A = this chain, B = another copy of it.
């Protein structure tokens, strides 16, 4: 294929230092360097080829995963990669695999919930992958409600063992990644029963398969749960089903950092605070927010580049048609997603800090910020993953018909990303947790209890209930203090209205249930405010690189004003702004789109994605889209033969009239 940069003109119009923006996006020069090296390493290694995945049958696809995971482990060791590098390597391989759960859930669960002795015994084996583990929590009949899990772990004092058992069909473990075909071990969550008494849900290390021949151990029924959304996507992963028929494990394989069962069958709470588990959730959800920015930025890269390449309508005097990216309809759908990708990046970065802060406090037995931090990360997990999933699909539509081809990269990206809305806490369930926390916060305002962390703004409830937005002309909407105040006022007023309505219900729990749809909107308002405020805070820092801060300011304003437009009903119904101010915001938004336009391609270049990682004919760095689409078509297996298999049996008889005809 010719080597011409079809997007060179787009790149020449950028008004900022793209290399400096790459550092901002990556988080630091070091992070950029690691990420860049690992991306190139993967892209240049033919073992990590992925363009052929979508035509593979399930077995071939799964074997492909095993091969890649093995090769990755080989390279990680050969090159003596650090943990950070290894993690980035797996990220760029871009194929869900059992190793994600081994490193992302199994190892952290032992670290977080295991005792020192358990760490010593199990972690070295896991670090060397001498055992491969997964995380077996959800069951066929139980997802969100962990307390409803049915699997039992009954202590048998005679043998000093736990008996792990699946008492019902619905208690079958269901969904855990890596479980179906690969894991040798699992952390199994089960109801602890000692002397016929229940002691809640706890984790147990259970060996599933022989380390010699991989056959399931006695009493264990195990398999893959079948095909999932998308061609390749998560079908590279062996999500599994698992049933226990009175499987015995030694007592010391219960994870006992928080709760212990002694040899005598006494159940003892340790002095380690139970709240530690929330710290882990803050950690996991923080990584999910960063993932949302990764996935969304990837889709936006494809859509922005192809929108700059693609031309449609608007030809004047036989000249070329207009670039699609010049249409306001395209801009008004695409640029807010570009802005959201950056916004989620920065709030994700801030969540890293929050996790460190919470961890340090927990170590000092300070639980004062934990509930708030937990609500904050739960809410941000929810809003960022929902926007990212919808945003990927929107980007696909923004690419027109060709976005429907797998080689656009977008269908697979959507199918493999969208579970993020459900796993690690269903997004609606999480928002209700946030809502519960906010209602409680509001109800305590009168008592003098000061709201902490990102709910601190509610301390100014009196001001926020009555403040009036001072915007008089479109440019007034560019002032961060104006934006912050209206977003704070909106969140506060929605929360106060909801809290009042719940308060006036005969029973607060019934009131909460009845109003829960409105409570979701209140929780979203709060979460959006967090993203807005962290974006604004980011811009108050020193950001090196010519024009970089200026571009981020434009994106921040787009992010905020787009939200304002999208949720105009909230802002107007709570009288945070007037209809005229809403129109001015819209006017300003249009002007901001024009400011982003010449920088759009450079702003996605700053994500620094390789063509291998994007895996998209439409999102190619050089914009040479049409020859790429054309060449890809001929790789389709159906094109191996001119006359398709089945023609002689099923088509020719029609054409040749080998049926007796009737009425038609």
Query: Would you call A272 an interface residue if the criterion is a C-beta within 8 Å of the partner chain's C-beta atoms?
Result: no
Closest Cβ of chain B to A315, distance in Å, is: 7
| B-facing residues in A419-450 (Cβ within 8 Å) | 419, 421-423, 426-428, 432
Query: Would you call A400 an interface residue if the criterion is a C-beta within 8 Å of the partner chain's C-beta atoms?
Result: yes
Instruction: Tell whether, in the assembled complex, residue A513 and residue B327 are in contact, meaning their CB atoms are under 8 Å apart.
Output: yes
Residue among A138, A225, A400 with most chain B CB within 10 A = A225
In the docked arrangement, what's the CA distance between A148 and B310, Å?
Answer: 13
Known interface pairs A513-B328, A636-B227; A655-B180 also in contact (CB < 8 Å): no
**Which of A127-135, A291-299, A469-477 makes up part of the contact surface?**
A127-135
| B-facing residues in A624-664 (Cβ within 8 Å) | 626-627, 629-630, 632-640, 642-647, 649-655, 657, 659-664
Query: Would you call A141 an interface residue if the criterion is a C-beta within 8 Å of the partner chain's C-beta atoms?
Result: yes
Contact string against B for A residues 38-68, beta-carbon threshold 8 Å, 1 for contact and 0 otherwise = 0000000000000000111111001100110
Contact string against B for A residues 539-583, beta-carbon threshold 8 Å, 1 for contact and 0 otherwise = 000000000000000000000000001011111111100010011
Instruction: Tell whether, in the assembled complex, residue A646 and residue B67 are in contact, meaning their CB atoms are under 8 Å apart.
Output: yes
Closest Cβ of chain B to A42, distance in Å, is: 17
| B-facing residues in A75-104 (Cβ within 8 Å) | 76-78, 80-83, 86
| Cross-chain contact of A227 among B55, B328, B418, B646 (Cβ < 8 A) | B55
Known interface pairs A148-B312, A664-B81; A630-B172 also in contact (CB < 8 Å): yes
Closest Cβ of chain B to A627, distance in Å, is: 6
User: Interface size for chain A: under 10, 10 to 19, 20 to 34, or 35 or more residues?
Assistant: 35 or more
CB nearest to A423 among chain B residues = B401
Query: Would you call A459 an interface residue if the criterion is a C-beta within 8 Å of the partner chain's C-beta atoms?
Result: no
Closest Cβ of chain B to A386, distance in Å, is: 9
CB nearest to A326 among chain B residues = B513
CB nearest to A74 among chain B residues = B659
**Which of A8-16, A207-215, A281-289 makes up part of the contact surface?**
A207-215
Query: Would you call A397 an interface residue if the criterion is a C-beta within 8 Å of the partner chain's C-beta atoms?
Result: yes
In the docked arrangement, what's the CA distance between A401 and B170, Å?
Answer: 14
Closest Cβ of chain B to A650, distance in Å, is: 4
Known interface pairs A62-B646, A575-B579, A650-B67; A421-B400 also in contact (CB < 8 Å): no
In the docked arrangement, what's the CA distance between A67 and B182, Å?
Answer: 37
Instruction: Tell whether, in the assembled complex, residue B516 and residue A328 are in contact, meaning their CB atoms are under 8 Å apart.
Output: yes
Known interface pairs A77-B664, A626-B169, A633-B223; A132-B216 also in contact (CB < 8 Å): no
Query: Would you call A405 an interface residue if the criterion is a C-beta within 8 Å of the partner chain's C-beta atoms?
Result: yes
| Cross-chain contact of A636 among B182, B224, B329 (Cβ < 8 A) | B224
In the docked arrangement, what's the CA distance between A427 and B398, Å?
Answer: 11
In the docked arrangement, what's the CA distance between A482 and B66, Å?
Answer: 63
Query: Would you call A253 an interface residue if the criterion is a C-beta within 8 Å of the partner chain's C-beta atoms?
Result: no
Instruction: Tell whether, in the assembled complex, residue A644 and residue B315 are in contact, meaning their CB atoms are under 8 Å apart.
Output: no
In the docked arrangement, what's the CA distance between A427 and B180, Å?
Answer: 41
**Which of A22-30, A108-116, A228-236, A603-611 makes up part of the contact surface?**
A228-236
Known interface pairs A238-B638, A406-B229, A664-B127; A643-B213 also in contact (CB < 8 Å): yes
Query: Would you call A371 an interface residue if the criterion is a C-beta within 8 Å of the partner chain's C-beta atoms?
Result: no
Contacts A70-B650, A169-B630 aside, 19 further interface pairs with beta carbons under 8 A come to: A59-B637, A59-B638, A77-B660, A77-B662, A80-B664, A127-B664, A129-B655, A144-B400, A145-B321, A215-B643, A226-B406, A226-B636, A238-B638, A329-B516, A397-B422, A400-B426, A401-B419, A568-B569, A573-B582
A-B pairs with beta carbons under 8 Å apart, 5 shown = A62-B638, A143-B401, A211-B655, A214-B647, A234-B404
A interface residues (Cβ-Cβ under 8 A, vs B):
54-59, 62-63, 66-67, 69-70, 73-74, 76-78, 80-83, 86, 127-132, 138, 140-145, 148, 169-170, 172, 174-175, 180-182, 184, 211, 213-216, 223-231, 234, 238, 241, 311-313, 315, 321, 327-329, 331-332, 393, 397, 400-401, 404-407, 411, 415, 418-419, 421-423, 426-428, 432, 513-518, 520, 565, 567-575, 579, 582-583, 586, 590, 626-627, 629-630, 632-640, 642-647, 649-655, 657, 659-664
